């Protein structure tokens, strides 16, 4: 098991408690916790770019952290690039004859791999969600996207899950250094129990598809179904007009259906640590309860929301408490909000680039 170090965000003498949900206070929080480092990164990105490869389990926060980082530092100069989104966009390209021809012309010129061009085209045209595309094809398509965004810093999220140790090394050896600027791995550690509860308590609006969490990220309106004895969320989107958010089919199983995939992610992270010549940022999304007091502030802990139904007033009362989960070693731990994770990311990147 990989040991991710604990990171301290607590600053002696900083007494203010920030509301990390409020955008204004969130900006003040980052200025207080990492103001000097933010200035250095902003200055660096005026003339430079880098490519960060995000590695972490499903629902580990890769997209959230990279987008928050971009918003704080310079959203005009930083882009979050999801390999999964890229594949879905390619599905759309295949429905347009002009875009389809441009894609196939690019592949004929740039693809290098074990499969014939006929096999590659067939794998794209006949792709299903249950079929993994060849790794060398994903590599070529990823390079295509990197070329499109050559003047921006990229956070690349999502890599082939079917890489063996040798293929993994070759994949990144080919990708790292592809563009002439620094590369860095960002490895994210999140306990499986955290992922399990994020999935089990997730609720989706059937109209606008907004996702929230009954336990960890409720909407402003919570109601109670007296017939089923269950609390439920009302979508905040005014266009949805009070639609009840629902449990997505299969979410009640939590991580059970993806356990093998989670094991694969662990192997990928372990393999990435063994690759030399590329700096690594290690982000840990849990702090043992017994060590938290010295490392973090209370408001940086993910809150758990508990509901009570008042039978007399017919109203739902909402209470908050620190969310405690067992980490992968069985230690009671606090899950962290995204903001302290991004503070850790900012400070480690300043060290990586010697700013």
At how many degrees (to 10) do helices 259-273 and 165-175 cross? 60
Rounded CA-CA distance 312/226 in Å is: 13
pLDDT of residue 160: 62
Domain boundaries along the sequence of the chain: 23-352
Q: What is the pLDDT of residue 168?
A: 61
CA distance 247 to 254: 11
Six-digit token string for 71: 């918003």
pLDDT digits (tens, 9 = 90+) for 119-136: 888 878 877 666 667 778
Burial class (CB in 10 A: 0-12, 13-18, 19+), 53: buried
pLDDT for res 193: 92
What's the CA gap between 239 and 243, in Å, rounded?
9
Block residue for tokens 């907004």: 210
Instruction: Report the distance separating Cα 324 and Cα 332, nearest Å.
Output: 6
Residues of the chain with pLDDT under 70: 1-2, 128-132, 160-171, 173, 177
Q: What pLDDT does residue 166 have? A: 47
**Fold exhibited by the domain 23-352:** Rossmann fold (3.40.50)
């Amino acid at each position: 098991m990989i040991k991710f170090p604990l990171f301290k965000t607590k600053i002696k003498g900083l007494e203010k408690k920030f509301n990390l949900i409020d955008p204004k206070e969130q900006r003040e929080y980052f200025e207080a916790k990492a103001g000097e480092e933010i200035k250095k990164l902003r200055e660096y990105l005026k003339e430079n770019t880098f490519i960060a490869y995000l590695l972490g389990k499903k629902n580990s926060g890769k997209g959230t952290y990279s987008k928050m980082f971009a918003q704080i530092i310079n959203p005009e100069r930083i882009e979050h690039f999801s390999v999964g989104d890229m594949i879905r966009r390619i599905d759309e390209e295949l429905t347009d004859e002009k875009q389809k021809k441009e894609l196939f012309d690019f592949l004929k010129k740039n693809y290098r791999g074990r499969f014939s061009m006929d096999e590659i085209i067939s794998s794209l045209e006949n792709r299903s969600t249950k079929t993994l595309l060849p790794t060398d094809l994903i590599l070529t398509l990823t390079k295509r996207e990197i070329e499109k965004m050559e003047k921006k810093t990229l956070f690349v999220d999502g890599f082939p899950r079917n890489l063996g140790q040798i293929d993994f090394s070759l994949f990144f050896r080919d990708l790292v250094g592809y563009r002439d600027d620094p590369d860095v791995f960002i490895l994210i550690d999140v306990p499986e129990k955290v992922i399990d509860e994020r999935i089990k308590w997730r609720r989706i609006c059937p109209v606008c598809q907004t996702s929230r969490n009954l336990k960890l990220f409720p909407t402003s309106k919570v109601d109670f179904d007296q017939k089923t004895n269950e609390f439920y969320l009302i979508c905040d989107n005014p266009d949805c007009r009070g639609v009840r958010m629902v449990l997505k089919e299969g979410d009640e199983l939590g991580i059970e259906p993806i356990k093998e995939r989670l094991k694969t992610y662990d192997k990928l992270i372990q393999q990435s640590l063994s690759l030399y010549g590329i700096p690594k940022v290690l982000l840990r999304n849990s702090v043992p309860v017994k060590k938290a007091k010295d490392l973090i502030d209370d408001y940086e802990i993910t809150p758990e929301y508990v509901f009570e139904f008042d039978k007399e007033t017919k109203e739902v009362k909402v209470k908050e408490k620190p969310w405690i989960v067992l980490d992968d070693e069985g230690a009671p731990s606090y899950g962290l909000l995204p903001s302290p994770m991004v503070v850790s990311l900012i400070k480690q990147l300043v060290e990586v680039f010697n700013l």
